[in-house]
Structure 1
Amino acid sequence: MDIKEIQSLIKFVAKSGASEVKLEMEDIKITIRTGSESTTPETTIVQQIPMAQAPVAPVAAPPVAVESATSETEQPAAADDSKYITIKSPIIGTFYRKPSPDKPVFVEVGSTINQGDVLCVIEAMKLFNDIESEVSGKIVKVLVDDSSPVEFDQPLFLVDPS
């Protein structure tokens, strides 16, 4: 139903003198109310959400259960990670481990790094920003997948400074 049909329906209801008309179709509900207090009819149009979008909600529920299970298993590991230095993202953007798709990654787990070495690239607003190490040490863990979005202050790498 397009807007012209709705407008002609409103005019018809106003002329007929009916106080309220409800029209329900497969994907749209229209209620037209005319009151004695005002000369213009009040119209409420509600468009229902198609049923194809309903399965989205159940898909989002399982990760919550997974996160609670992984947080229990990560608590003992957090004690082991306390001796490592966490390198965090200085900006919001998209994390890349390589300078370009055909080049090798900047650092791997086990790589020895020095202060000032480029660890990754974060793309923000079509600009590629080199993220340099502020510490020297050995990469213990890469905490972010390649080509994934990162937030400000999100941990990227764990470095063993010894």
Structure 2
Amino acid sequence: MLKISEVKELIKLIDDSTISNFLYEQDGVKVEIKKNVGEAVVAAPVVTKTIQQEEAKTTKEVAVESVVTEAPEKSIDENLHKITSPMVGTFYQSASPDAPAFIKVGDKVTKDSVVCIVEAMKLFNEITAEVDGEIVEILVKDGELVEYGEPLFLVKA
């Protein structure tokens, strides 16, 4: 069975490669990693409804159009390092609800500094900074669900 550190290493290797889908099976244990390759833009179709009025015996057509637009993403300084989520789970800024946050904007971190916890399947995984620097921005709210590879923090290295 794979250790959590081995799974994290696999995730990093897949993330740094051009592989978009990875499947590993051994002794009935299956690990599947899928990487988002691009952003999907969703647009709702135009819906046309016909309303018949019995009394007037006329037909009216009403066009209902709805288009989903996405807010433009903030431009992120390319000199900043993104600390990303290594898994899908729930983001927590502290070890418990009454404990202070691991870090806040302006704090100095080292590559081994714990910056948050991501809970996945009742396992609390400590996420480290991976670089030395200063926290510039926290991109996720406490208790929010995060996706694999989603940026959590911006660090000025």
The TM-score bracket by the shorter chain reads 0.5 to 0.7
**Structure 2 counterpart of 1:87, one-letter code:** I
**Aligned match of 1:92:** 88
Q: CA deviation at 1:91?
A: 1.1
Residue 119 of structure 1 pairs with residue 115 of structure 2? yes
1:139 counterpart SS class: strand
**Structure number, greater radius of gyration:** 1
Separation in 2, partners of 1:115, 1:124:
22
**Aligned match of 1:148:** 144
Please report the TM-score for the alignment, with normalisation by the length of structure 2.
Answer: 0.55
Q: Which one has the bigger helix percentage?
A: 1
- Between Structure 1 and Structure 2, how many residues are aligned? 92
Separation in 2, partners of 1:127, 1:83:
33
Runs of 4+ in structure 1 off by over 6 angstroms are none
**Aligned match of 1:129:** 125
Separation in 2, partners of 1:82, 1:132:
20
Separation in 1, partners of 2:154, 2:103:
12
1:98 counterpart SS class: coil
**Structure 2 counterpart of 1:93, one-letter code:** G
1:67-116, Cα deviation, whole Å (9 max, x unpaired): 23x33xx2xx33xx111001111111000001100000001010000111
Separation in 2, partners of 1:140, 1:125:
30
**Aligned match of 1:20:** none
Separation in 1, partners of 2:154, 2:111:
14
Please report the TM-score for the alignment, with normalisation by the length of structure 1.
Answer: 0.53
Q: CA deviation at 1:123?
A: 0.4
Structure 2: unaligned runs, 5 residues or longer: 1-65
Q: CA deviation at 1:138?
A: 0.1
Quote the RMSD (CA, aligned, Å): 1.5
Separation in 2, partners of 1:133, 1:83:
16
**Structure 1 counterpart of 2:122, one-letter code:** K
Structure 1: unaligned runs, 5 residues or longer: 1-60
Q: Which one has the bigger strand percentage?
A: 2
